[in-house]
Amino acid sequence: MEMSHDKEQYIYTSNHLQDTEALAAWLADVAIPGTVIGLDGDLGAGKTAFSQLFAKHLGVKGIVNSPTFTIIKEYEGRLPFYHMDVYRLSMDEADELGLDEYFYGEGVCLVEWSQIISELLPEPHLHLFMETTGIDERKITIRGFGSPYEDWCCNLNKNGVFKS
Amino acid sequence: MSEHKIEEQPCYILAIETSCDETAVAIVKDGHVVMSNLIASQIETHKAFGGVVPEVASRKHVENITLMLDEAVTASGIKMTDLSAIAVTQGPGLVGALLVGVVAAKSLSVALAKPLIGTHHIAGHIYANRLVGEIHYPCMVLVVSGGHTELVYMKQEGQFEVIGRTRDDAVGEAYDKVARSLGFPYPGGPHVDKMALESEESIVLPRAWLEPGSYDFSFSGLKSAVLNVINQRKMRGDDMNPAAIARGFQESVVEVLVTKAIRAVKAYDVKQLLLCGGVAANRGLRAELSRQCDKEGIDLSIPPFEYCTDNAAMIGAAAYLKWREQYFTSLDMKADPQLSLEAWGSNSID
């Protein structure tokens, strides 16, 4: 029955990297053990930049670089941070990698190119879709699926974070 | 030289490398003489997917490994019982792929009652240089591959200090993504190199120098700049000329890599610069680095192509450091996808 109603989607307009950082910081602040965030967008949309800012605000020290080659990179912040990039995988291959241990673990998962493995993501999750609208401008579409992600979106909205 | 004093008997290390998309087995004598070096290239399988596919890789490793072990021993002309130790890539890499090599190495270690040496993949790439000549310490290493872009300072043998690394994409990854966006076939990196060398025209793209004095690298801005050029031309309906974009991209990458490596060589006052990793096969990079080192009077070591890409001979060369120390790995060793180079060098892996 959850499947039958349309999930509300919110649009976050980022005029420069600082705006993206504000969103990343807000999400890093509310993240709890087991948080799963899917992150999609074309090459160059700013997924890795968003991930780095999110990691910084989650308290990860040092460099967070691209996990494309190794698929998963683990870091220690306020909570364990699992940075994934499934660009090189198919659904079947991802299934055999045992990602559930991360998704249902004690840390925070941020999955770049998550739509490739959409069926493997836990039903409750937050999804961000980034689009390039100018050199520095980005449109970020945010959808919350289940608890607590729908509430996060509501709270972001109430705080006047969404610009349209 | 000095190793003869320590080791009267020849040391034969059987080395296994399965950290990514190659199943490789080699036998290396005394850390620098390659007795056999076999690579079951899976590149044909991967072409269909447009990249390295980890699951396919793990399954392929399992199918390949026992046959490869047999063949490597046969090709070397020595007997299994002549082996001194079994070395294997412990990390970094894809955990499923690493595990295949680790399990094979442990089994062989137990069956033959020979010590096990867990080895760092990047130390392997670095010591690929030992397969072609002596390394003169202190030295600086420029590591360039699909997953790594690092400057490593080595004060002495086996001691590693990473002084610079990529803050976002690795150089090989940037090559692959740019190749994809230009519609080049897999493997994209060599194709960009080829187009760049053939093109007369070049589109100037930005260089990411980062803050003054930094030895870190960043390639995601350059990747975005390439995408902007492609999109703008598409929107205007202009001709694309992918070769000119490839050349502009390669010139930006090479200039930054070469400039930072040479600055590091001077700042650390080292005796030698080593190049290694899969992107060390890039002809544009080799040529420009050689030219600049000639000009500056820097001793440059570059392994031949077959030792630049993933192989097991390099793992045998790096493992020999631990053989000389008689520092072996216990059988409960775990494959470690995030293994630290510094920790491996100083025998402080927990």
pLDDT in tens, A101-142: 889 999 999 999 999 999 999 999 999 999 999 888 999 999
Q: Which residues of B touch A70 (CB under 8 A)?
A: 92-94, 147, 337-338
**Domain ranges (residues) in chain A:** 2-158
Q: Residues of B at the annotated binding site for Fe cation? A: 121, 125, 310
The answer to whether the CB of B186 falls within 8 A of the CB of B178 is: no
Cβ–Cβ below 8 Å for B169 and A97: no
Angle (deg, nearest 10), helices A47-57 and A17-30? 50
The answer to whether the CB of B252 falls within 8 A of the CB of B222 is: yes
pLDDT at position A98 over 70? yes
With a CB cutoff of 8 Å and minimum separation 6, the contacts of B55 are A89, A90, A92, A93, A94, A96, A97, B96
Please, which residues bridge with residue A85 across strands? A112
- For chain B, say whether A115 makes contact (Cβ under 8 Å): no
Instruction: Tell me the mean pLDDT in the region B226-236.
Output: 89
Among A119-128, B58-67, B102-111, B224-233, the minimum mean pLDDT is found in B58-67
- For chain B, say whether A88 makes contact (Cβ under 8 Å): yes
Task: Report d(CA B338, CA B129) in Å as an integer.
Answer: 23
The model's confidence at residue B37, banded by pLDDT at 50, 70 and 90, is: very high
- State the pTM of this model: 0.85
Nearest in space to A94 (alpha carbons), one of A74, A119, A69? A119
Cβ–Cβ below 8 Å for A97 and B96: yes
Cβ–Cβ below 8 Å for A69 and B147: yes
Instruction: Supply the pLDDT for residue B271.
Output: 97
Nearest in space to A84 (alpha carbons), one of A47, A52, A109? A109
B257-307 residue pLDDT tens: 999 999 999 999 999 999 999 999 999 999 999 999 999 999 999 999 889
B117-146 residue pLDDT tens: 999 999 999 999 999 999 999 999 999 998
- SS3 string, chain B, reads CCHHHHCCCCCEEEEEECCCCEEEEEEEECCCEEEEEEEEECHHHHHCCCCCCHHHHHHHHHHHHHHHHHHHHHHHCCCHHHCCEEEEEEECCCHHHHHHHHHHHHHHHHHHCCCEEEEEHHHHHHHHHHHCCCCCCCEEEEEECCCCEEEEEECCCCCCEEEEEECCCCHHHHHHHHHHHCCCCCCHHHHHHHHHHHCCCCCCCCCCCCCCCCCCECCHHHHHHHHHHHHHHHHHCCCCCHHHHHHHHHHHHHHHHHHHHHHHHHHCCCCEEEEECHHHHCHHHHHHHHHHHHHHCCCEECCCHHHHCCCCHHHHHHHHHHHHHCCCECCCCCCCCCCCHHHHHCCCCC
Q: List B residues 115-134 in contact with A (Cβ-Cβ < 8 A).
A: none
pLDDT at position A66 over 90? no
B309-320 residue pLDDT tens: 999 999 999 999
Mutation test of the interface with chain B: which of A43, A70, A81, choosing the one with the most B Cβ atoms within 10 A? A70
- Distance of residue A113 Cα from the nearest chain B Cα, in angstroms: 14
- Please give the share of chain B, as a percent, with pLDDT higher than 90: 75
The answer to whether the CB of B333 falls within 8 A of the CB of B120 is: no
pLDDT at position A49 over 70? yes
Please state the φ and ψ torsions of residue B165, each to the nearest 5 degrees. Answer: -155, 165
β-pairing, B149-154 vs B139-144, is antiparallel
Instruction: Supply the pLDDT for residue B344.
Output: 97
- Please give the share of chain B, as a percent, with pLDDT higher than 70: 93
Instruction: Tell me the mean pLDDT in the region B58-83.
Output: 89
A43 or B36: which leads in pLDDT: B36
- Which residue type is seen at B318? A
The model's confidence at residue B44, banded by pLDDT at 50, 70 and 90, is: low
The model's confidence at residue B67, banded by pLDDT at 50, 70 and 90, is: confident
- Distance of residue B165 Cα from the nearest chain A Cα, in angstroms: 9
B314: how many CB neighbours lie within 10 A of its CB?
34
Among A30-44, A83-97, B20-34, B146-160, the minimum mean pLDDT is found in A83-97
The model's confidence at residue A160, banded by pLDDT at 50, 70 and 90, is: low
The model's confidence at residue A70, banded by pLDDT at 50, 70 and 90, is: confident
Complex ipTM more than 0.90, yes or no: no
Q: Which residues of B touch A52 (CB under 8 A)?
A: 167-168
- For chain A, say whether B49 makes contact (Cβ under 8 Å): yes
Instruction: Supply the pLDDT for residue B292.
Output: 97
Q: List A residues 18-77 in contact with B (Cβ-Cβ < 8 A).
A: 42-44, 48-49, 52, 63, 65-66, 68-74
pLDDT at position B6 over 70? no
Mutation test of the interface with chain B: which of A50, A53, A66, choosing the one with the most B Cβ atoms within 10 A? A66
Nearest to B55 among A68, A70, A97 (CB): A97
The model's confidence at residue A1, banded by pLDDT at 50, 70 and 90, is: very low
The model's confidence at residue B57, banded by pLDDT at 50, 70 and 90, is: low
pLDDT at position B4 over 70? no
| Chain A / chain B CB contacts < 8 angstroms | 79
Nearest to A65 among B168, B177, B227 (CB): B168
pLDDT at position B173 over 50? yes
Nearest in space to A115 (alpha carbons), one of A32, A47, A25? A47
Cβ–Cβ below 8 Å for A43 and B181: yes
Q: Which residues of B touch A97 (CB under 8 A)?
A: 54-55, 96
pLDDT at position A84 over 80? yes
- For chain B, say whether A1 makes contact (Cβ under 8 Å): no
Q: Residues of B at the annotated binding site? A: 121, 125, 143-147, 176, 189, 193, 282, 310
CA distances from A102 to A33, A36, A109 (A): 10, 9, 7
Instruction: Tell me the mean pLDDT in the region A89-101.
Output: 77
Sheet strand arrangement including B139-144: B161-165, B149-154, B139-144, B272-276, B300-301
Instruction: Supply the pLDDT for residue A3.
Output: 29
pLDDT at position B151 over 70? yes
pLDDT at position B54 over 70? no
pLDDT at position B47 over 80? no
Q: For chain B, what is the mean pLDDT?
A: 91
Cβ–Cβ below 8 Å for B53 and A90: yes
β-pairing, B116-120 vs B139-144, is unpaired
- For chain B, say whether A87 makes contact (Cβ under 8 Å): yes
Cβ–Cβ below 8 Å for A70 and B165: no
CATH class in words for A2-158? alpha beta
Instruction: Supply the pLDDT for residue B338.
Output: 84
- Distance of residue B276 Cα from the nearest chain A Cα, in angstroms: 17
Instruction: Supply the pLDDT for residue B289.
Output: 97
Q: For chain A, what is the mean pLDDT?
A: 87
